Structure 1
Amino acid sequence: MTSMHVERDLRLPDDLRVARARSAPHHGPRLLFFSGGSALNGISRQIKHYTFNSMHLITPFDSGGSSQSLRQAFDMPAVGDLRSRLMALADETVLGQPDIFALFSYRLPKTGRPADLRAEVDRIVTGKHPLIAAITQPMRRLILTLLDSFARAVPPDFDYRSASIGNLILAGGYLENGRALEPVLFLMSKMVDVRGTVRVIVDDNLHLGVDLADGREIIGQRLISGKETPPITAPITRCFLSDGRRAIPARKVPLPKRNRRLIESADVICYPPGSLYSSVVANLLPAGVGAAVATRRVPKAYLPSLGTDPEALGHGLADQVAAILTPLRADCGPDVPVKRLMTHVICDVSVPEDACAQVRTRHGIPCLRLPLSLPGEAKYDPVKVAQILVSLD
């Protein structure tokens, strides 16, 4: 039996493929994303109109915002990015579960008095709050079970400011299921009819660390991203996983088999917009990711962020590509051709041609400049990007 690998010329967007996906999203392409953060959520909301088969591997290493309060209270992975992607992919029509969606999306006030916030959570946990009362049985009972697990374990001084109720439910499900995220992610996906698959890249309570060009080492996503602290002032030279004190070798953080199989089933692999290291590279660090990516002979595209990324200080486009390739090649070996790890860079026409030329010269990867941004904004047009990605299949 002889195997054959067929390549085709890309037409972006491909109107036929776009129309076919739009008419039958149940049979849409298996688009796989390595991502975290909120940068891909708008695009995800459009992708679900073209395929119900997108796959999202999400980093659980966030250490800021309300996710950090849960991490400190329960010694658990971060769940905020997981919840927000689930909500982005949920069926938001009347055929979905709008009452459950409203509860999962509800966020407590940022400036509320601690006693008032605790009282509101108590009303939700006991089923007396309008948001939970609106949900019909048996779903209400199931959600209350998860909230009860959270309430029985939460410290009395827990900070509820700006807390997402969906995150509290995920935390309760994590505790209810033997400190595992996968069961509660599956359950929440079914509750709101998520049009795709959302998984944590590794179900481990780890942190992200980086080395800087000035010799400093920083551990903690919030210290790296510059969203809650002053931005870093020297380029990042290395990214690694950490137990919160020191670096952990990649071999000690293996990619779960279920996620390897997910990667190996993809029709398209995308390194999407988002903070370069904490949202994208972080997902490529576990052992086995690079090998799984190299095994799959499909289009593999990098869609760089528009605007300024504090984590990409001193990085041109070719440097950003190198940051993605580095952990992949460290895993699968230096002899694997680059095109097995990344086949295209797809960027907006605002990216200078010189930057694309450097990508071709340094990495041998074609760089496609297309009109993908919203008029007058340093943001991608979600519809255009969704149609481009569907066309890669």
Structure 2
Amino acid sequence: MWAKRARRLLGFLRWLRPGMGVKRYVLVAAAGMLLMFLGVAQLSWQGVFLDWVLDFVLFTRNLGLPLWLSGTVSFLVGLGVFSLGIRAMNRSILSAVTDPDELPERIWKKRRLEAGPRVVALGGGTGLSNLLGGLKTRTANLTGVVAVTDDGGSTGRLRRSFDVPAVGDLTDCLAALSEVERMPELMKYRFQRGEGLSGHTFGNLFLVSLFELTGDFAEAVRMADRVLALSGAVYPSTPHPARLVAELAGGARVEGESRIREAPGRVRRVWLEPENPPVMPEVLRAVARAQLIVLGPGSLFTSVIPSFLPPGLRRAIAESPARLVYVANVMTEPGETDGMDAYAHYKAVAEHLGRRPDAVLVHTAPLDPEALARYAEEGQHPVAYDPAPFGADGVRVVEGDFAHAGAFVRHDPEKLTARLLECVR
């Protein structure tokens, strides 16, 4: 107890060190308090005060001012000086960490976001990172849970070299939620030259470096959350390396996310190996407390479903009282969801999860014909939608225009966020 008090005293005394720019304003505030005290003394004069107070009262009376007027003036002047001293001291302190003029706006924004709904979003790829970028403008109670089964490109090389979960999608989601200026650009920077560096992103190397430093991938992610000053939190679906395995319609078994995408034939089901990887406690707590759980958008069998495959996470989602919403893709993906309509997407999610989504968001507005023609050349087509089977299942479908108007057909984060948060109410 005494040690705690001593630390507090030392902490206070540090404010009085030379160069802090605090002592002068403390003195100004003290002078203001003194004037306020003298003003009160005059307003409530009873003749029982210290000699120097009496001298001040007599001085003001010699000016010909009544006690009530001189007391009021002294009090108001003291209040003004005290306020100026406190304001100047606060600006001196705050200027070391932020622009004092921006502070009211920052506090208002922080309080507004802290009052937002508790949302957990699961998935991977650009779909999840874009969604998180939209959600962070409406709530700070946001948790991203990222699939970590990618085995291609920079991520695949790092997985093989360091035996870590996939870091690429984690990097994108960390970048999306970071409040540090230019950090998203830095995290996504990809080296174009340098032996051993070419092809890697800074964010991927950053996460692997934290893993090497801590020796624990879960702790590395926690450290990244703190360093990057996230508006929310980002975690892997499991902090342990896991492989994605698929069974195709013909019964063939395919291992590895990149091979699943290239394999001929429709995917029947997917699972992880090992089948029961651990889940971070932060993820389970977020799911238990959530008001809204969002699945997707993203690649159905290689991003969305893998993000909730760990059994512990599936159980937590099944038991959560939160509204569960699945965001259906706008376009099919070659070799993965060819010929699958929105209902087939929904059924695949429900069968793998063991819980039916409470609602499904489906884009139903017309798309740009030129963009569709380009996508058709790559074997991608709009996901077909028929409301009848959803109605038979008693599942709510939220129809609307959720796509971004541009050369690429993808979900618009702002449109998506607005409609998703309506599901909470």
Alpha-carbon distance, 1:35 to partner: 0.9
Q: Choose the corresponding residue for 1:312, options 337, 344, 351.
A: 337
What does 1:41-60 align with in structure 2 at a 5 Å threshold? 41-60=129-148
Among 212, 229, 254, the alignment partner of 1:175 is 212
Question: How far is the alpha carbon of 1:199 from its aligned partner?
Answer: 0.4
Contact map agreement 1:90 1:194 (CA 8 A) in 2: yes
- Cα distance, 1:269 vs structure 2: 0.5
Mind listing any 5+ residue stretches in structure 1 that lack a counterpart?
A: 1-19, 119-158, 226-230, 243-247, 330-337
- Alpha-carbon shift at residue 323 of structure 1 (Å): 1.2
Q: Tell whether the 8 Å contact from 1:269 to 1:299 is kept in structure 2 after alignment.
A: yes
Task: Tell me the distance in 1 between the aligned counterparts of 2:341 and 2:319.
Answer: 28
> Following the alignment from structure 2 to structure 1, what is the Cα–Cα distance between the partners of residues 353 and 297?
18
Q: 1:254 Cα deviation (Å)?
A: 4.1
Tell me whether 1:346 sits opposite 2:377 in the alignment. no
* 2:220 aligns with one of 181, 184, 196: 184
Q: Which residue of 2 is the match for residue 130 of structure 1? A: none
Which of the two has greater helix per residue?
2
CA 217–28 in structure 1, closer or farther in 2 if over 3 Å, else same: same
Structure with greater Cα Rg: 2
Mapped to 2, the partners of 1:254 and 1:199 lie a distance apart of 12
Classify the secondary structure of the residue corresponding to 1:71: helix
Residue 232, structure 1, aligned to residue 263, structure 2: yes
CA distance in 2, matches of 1:21, 1:356: 39
**Aligned-residue offset at 1:63:** 0.2
CA gap of 1:65–1:28, structure 2 versus 1, over 3 A, is same
Which residue of the partner structure matches residue 201 of structure 1? 237
Q: Which runs of 5+ in 2 are unaligned?
A: 1-107, 366-381
Deviation at 1:106, TM superposition (A): 2.1
- How far residue 22 of structure 1 moved from its aligned partner, in angstroms, is 9.7
**Is 1:79 aligned with 2:167?**
yes
CA distance 1:182–1:253, shift in 2 (3 Å): closer
Question: Does the 8 A contact of 2:342 with 2:383 survive in 1?
Answer: no
Q: In 2 relative to 1, CA 184–58 (structure 1 residues): closer, same or farther, beyond 3 Å?
A: same
Structure 1 SS opposite 2:361: strand
> 2:302 maps to what in 1?
278
Contact 1:21 1:28 in 2 (8 A): no
Structure 2 residue 380 is matched with structure 1 residue 292 = no
1:88, distance to aligned residue in structure 2 (A): 0.7
Separation in 2, partners of 1:40, 1:162: 22
- C-alpha contact 2:187 2:202 (8 A) present in aligned 1: yes
Once the two structures are superposed, what CA deviation does each residue of 1:136-155 show, in whole Å capped at 9, x if it has no partner?
xxxxxxxxxxxxxxxxxxxx
TM-score (norm 2): 0.66
User: 3-state SS of the aligned residue for 2:325?
Assistant: strand
Following TM superposition, the consecutive aligned residue runs of length 4 or more in structure 1 with deviations greater than 6 angstroms are 20-23
Q: 1:22 to 1:293 in 2, by over 3 A?
A: same
How far, CA to CA, are the matches of 1:163 and 1:352 in structure 2?
A: 33
- CA–CA distance in structure 1, aligned partners of residues 340 and 316 of structure 2: 27
Larger RCO (CA under 8 A, 6+ residues apart): 1
Which residue of 2 is the match for residue 366 of structure 1? 396
The structure-2 alpha-carbon separation of the partners of 1:313 and 1:21, relative to structure 1 and needing over 3 Å to count, comes to: farther
Match of 1:323 among 348, 370, 374: 348
Supply the AA of the counterpart residue of 2:386.
A
1:353–1:313: structure 2 CA closer, same or farther, 3 Å change rule? closer
Cα displacement (A) at 1:305: 1.1
- Report the TM-score when normalising by structure 1: 0.71
Q: Distance in 1 between matches of 2:166 and 2:385?
A: 39
Alpha-carbon distance, 1:189 to partner: 2.0
Q: Deviations over 1:186-213 (max 9, x none)?
A: 2222222111110011111111010111
Equivalent residues, number: 299
